[in-house]
Amino acid sequence: MKHTSITLLTLTAAAGFAQSAPAAASSFAVSGNVEVTSNYVFRGLSQSAGHSAIQGGFDLSKTPISGLTAGVWASSLSAGTEADLYANYAFKVSAVDVSVGYIDYTYSAASSNKTGGEANVSATYAGVNLKVSKGVSGALSDYYYEANYSHDLSFVKGLSFGLHYGSDRASKNNDYGISLNYPIAGLDTSVSYTDIQKGSSITAFTVKKSF
């Protein structure tokens, strides 16, 4: 939480305002997205056998309670589908953005052995994100560690790049990635390159529309 200095005058003024101003009404906000990718890559591995995938989801957040979000996301796979249910709570610790959450992965018959739940915690500061995920139910029981970095490139408005490193304790694999992101005609477009230890590299192009 951001540190602030509070004086007696500030407290007095705030109390007077609270008596005269109506309480903020609670409400729900819904957002969604749909995207098409040339290759669905998750933690360094293709989930669509090198083919394109259609993906999308919805997020529900409640105001004025900031930081609490729940949602659903789904994707086509090489065979069948994946549907994820998740919830996150984000807050600040000084200048650090912190998030804790849970995600439940559900796969159709062809990949049902992957179904399970995973808890996660992450911290972000100055574009650097560190995240730890831990499988807690179903087929998931191990850790996945990752580090991510994002940066806006000032010489082209809207252009940004991202870096990724991940380590999966279950498979003993490390994966690396780089991406470029740029908005075109109201769409978020990105191209990414992923390489996994003892595996082959993957290049994917994605177009996403948020609403």
List of domains in the chain: 26-210 (2.40.160.40)
Q: How confident is the model at residue 110 (pLDDT cuts 50, 70, 90)?
A: confident
Q: Please classify residue 177 by burial: count the beta carbons closer than 10 Å to its beta carbon, then call 0-12 exposed, 13-18 middle and 19+ buried.
A: buried
Q: How confident is the model at residue 27 (pLDDT cuts 50, 70, 90)?
A: confident
For 172, the token pair is 């003993």
pLDDT(13) > 60: no
Q: For the residues 170-195, what does the mean pLDDT come to?
A: 96
Q: Which of 95, 88, 86 is nearest to 65 (CA)?
A: 88
Residue with tokens 């804790």: 100
Running DSSP on this structure, what letter comes out for residue 185? Answer: T
Is residue 13 helix, strand or coil?
A: helix
- State what percent of residues in the chain have pLDDT above 90: 76
> Model pTM?
0.83
The whole-number pLDDT of residue 198 equals 66
Q: For residues 31 and 71, what is the distance between their CA atoms, to the nearest angstrom?
A: 9
